[in-house]
Amino acid sequence: MRIQDIVRRLVQLQYSRNQWDCQRGTFRFHGDSIDIYPAYEDTYIHIEITDNTVKTIERCNPLSGKSLATQKFCVIYPAKHYMTDALTYKPVFAQIQTDMETQIKKFKGNNQFIEAQRIQDRVTNDLEMIQEIGYVNGIENYSRYFDGRKPGDAPFTLFDYFDDATKGKPWLLIIDESHMTIPQIRGMYNGDRSRKQTLIDYGFRLPSALDNRPLQFDEFLRRIPQTVFVSATPDEWELSYSDGSIVEQLVRPTGLVDPMITIKPVKGQIEDLMREISIRVAKQERILVTTLTKQMAEDLTTYLKEKKYNVAYLHSNILTLKRNIILTSLRKGDVDVLIGVNLLREGLDLPEVSLVAILDADKEGFLRSTVSLIQTMGRAARHVDGTVILYADTITKSITNAIAEVKRRRAIQRAYNKKHNITPIGIQKPIREELVQDVAPLPDLQILSMTSMDKQREIKKLQLLMKKAIKNLYFEQAAEYRDRIEELHE
CATH label of the domain that carries residue 389: 3.40.50.300
Pair (114, 163) in one structural domain: yes
**How confident is the model at residue 199, as a pLDDT?**
95
Residue 189 is part of which domain span? Answer: 86-223
CA dihedral (84, 87, 89, 94) positive or negative: negative
Q: What whole-number percentage of the chain has pLDDT above 90?
A: 59
pLDDT in the model for residue 347: 60
Of residues 270 and 452, more confidently modeled: 270
On whether both 350 and 408 belong to a single domain, the answer is yes
Last residue of a domain, one of 403, 419, 435: 419
Question: What gap in Å lies between CA 460 and CA 470, rounded to an integer?
Answer: 15
The reply to whether 159 and 270 lie within a common domain is: no
Could you tell me if residue 272 is inside a domain?
Answer: yes
Is the confidence at residue 344, as pLDDT, over 60?
Answer: no
Q: What integer pLDDT is reported at residue 417 of this predicted model?
A: 96
Q: How confident is the model at residue 70 (pLDDT cuts 50, 70, 90)?
A: very high
Per-residue pLDDT averaged across 220-229, rounded?
94
Q: Which of 12-21, 124-133, 353-362, 432-441 has the lowest mean pLDDT?
A: 432-441
Distance from the Cα of residue 141 to its chain's centroid:
23
Write a three-state SS string for 128-184.
HHHHHHCCCCCHHHHHHHHHCCCCCCCCCCHHHHHHHHCCCCCCEEEEECHHHHHHH
Nearest to 386 by CA among 419, 357, 411, 345: 357
pLDDT of residue 445: 61
| Residue 239 within a domain | no
**One domain, residues 293 and 340:** yes
| pLDDT above 70 (res 317) | no
Residue 9, pLDDT > 60, answer: yes
Q: Is residue 424 part of a domain?
A: no
Dmax (CA) for the chain in angstroms is 86
Q: Give the global pTM.
A: 0.72
Q: Is residue 203 part of a domain?
A: yes
Does residue 299 share a domain with residue 385? yes
Q: Is the pLDDT of residue 81 over 70?
A: yes
pLDDT reading at 427 higher than 70: yes
R_g of the chain, CA atoms, integer Å: 30
Q: What is the sign of the dihedral through the CA atoms of 473, 477, 481 and 486?
A: positive
Both 270 and 405 in one domain: the answer is: yes
* Same domain assignment for residues 285 and 375: yes
User: Quick one: DSSP state of residue 88?
Assistant: G
Question: Where among 378, 400, 419 does a domain terminate?
Answer: 419
Q: What is the mean pLDDT of the chain?
A: 89
Average pLDDT on 158-172 reads 89
Which pLDDT score is estimated for 446?
A: 63
User: For the domain that residue 40 is a member of, what is the CATH number?
Assistant: 3.30.2060.10
Q: Work out the number of other CB atoms within 10 angstroms of the CB of residue 452.
A: 7
Chosen domain end from 23, 48, 71: 71
User: Is residue 218 located within the same domain as residue 168?
Assistant: yes
Question: Can you tell me the mean pLDDT for 312-326?
Answer: 74
Same domain, 120 and 267: no
Interval 287-299 mean pLDDT: 91
User: What pLDDT score was predicted for residue 316?
Assistant: 66
What pLDDT, on a 0 to 100 scale, did the predictor assign at position 468? 81
Is the pLDDT at 442 greater than 60? The verdict is: no
Give the per-residue pLDDT at 444. 60
Q: What is the domain count for the chain? A: 4
Give pLDDT, residue 319: 62
Half-sphere exposure (Cβ direction) of 416: Cα atoms closer than 13 Å:
17
Q: Tens digit of pLDDT for each residue in 238-265?
A: 999 998 899 999 999 899 999 999 999 9
At residue 466, the pLDDT reads 84
Least-confidence region, from 76-90, 300-314, 389-403: 76-90
pLDDT over threshold 70, residue 321: no
Beta bridge pairs of residue 286: 353
What is d(CA 369, CA 375) in angstroms, rounded to the nearest whole number?
A: 10
Of the listed ranges 226-235, 275-284, 294-303, 453-462, the least confidently predicted one is: 453-462
Task: Give the bridge partners for 358, in sequence order.
Answer: 290, 390
Residue 79 within any structural domain of the chain: no
- 240 within domain boundaries: no
Quick one: the chain helix, strand, coil %, rounded to 5?
Answer: 45, 15, 40
The string over 176-213, giving b where at least 16 C-beta atoms fall within 10 Å of a residue's C-beta and e elsewhere, is ebbbbebeebeebbeeebeebeebbeebbbbbbbbbbb
What's phi and psi for 20, nearest 5 deg?
Answer: -110, -40
One domain for residues 94 and 191:
yes
Do 109 and 182 lie in a common domain?
Answer: yes
Q: Determine which of 208-217, 372-381, 434-443 has the lowest per-residue pLDDT on average.
A: 434-443
472 vs 78, higher pLDDT: 78
Distance CA 34, CA 49 (A): 8
Residue 90 and residue 62 share a domain: no
Tell me if residue 335 falls in helix, strand or coil. Answer: coil
Query: Is residue 432, in this structure, part of any structural domain at all?
Result: no
Q: What's the pLDDT at 185?
A: 95
Highest mean pLDDT among 253-257, 347-351, 448-452: 253-257
Q: Is residue 463 part of a domain?
A: yes
SS3 call for 49: strand
